[in-house]
Amino acid sequence: GAVVSQHPSRVICKSGTSVKIECRSLDFQATTMFWYRQFPKQSLMLMATSNEGSKATYEQGVEKDKFLINHASLTLSTLTVTSAHPEDSSFYICSASSGLDGYTFGSGTRLTVV
């Protein structure tokens, strides 16, 4: 079946540094990639939607200059958390769609900013 590989699974970084999270669709073309954030015991919160080759669409309240999304190819999308702060500590997860109502989720990245 369809697989999305997300890396890293865990990352600890110092406040003020940037962290890049990568999602690759391994055996299908991801025309659309969704990036979510999840706080403990909460549901998934959509941060942004990106289509290959175009700028990401950010949800209200999500800072596009802080959460940089790149979807340069049909198999790779990246989320960069810039100038990370402790409040950015969270679980980030991507989901890829090939446009046929199917979604494949990555395994998630737990970010801790110290």
Partner 1 sequence: KNEVEQSPQNLTAQEGEFITINCSYSVGISALHWLQQHPGGGIVSLFMLSSGKKKHGRLIATINIQEKHSSLHITASHPRDSAVYICAVRSLGGSNYKLTFGKGTLLTVNP
Between 20 and 105, name the residue whose CB sits nearer to partner 1.
Answer: 105
Residue 64 or 83 with smaller CB distance to partner 1: 64
Residue ranges in contact with partner 1 by CB under 8 A: 32, 34, 38, 42-44, 46, 49, 51, 57, 91, 93, 95, 97, 99, 101-108, 110
* Residue whose CB is less far from partner 1, 48 or 84: 48
Cα radius of gyration (the chain): 13
Q: Among 22, 47, 19, which Cα is nearest to 35's?
A: 47
Task: Please state, in angstroms and as integers, the Cα–Cα distance from residue 82 to each residue in 29, 85, 111, following that order.
Answer: 27, 9, 12
The minimum distance between CB 101 and partner 1, in angstroms, equals: 5
Is the dihedral angle over the CA atoms 35, 64, 42, 85 positive or is it negative? positive
Residue 66 beta carbon to partner 1: minimum distance, rounded to whole angstroms:
21
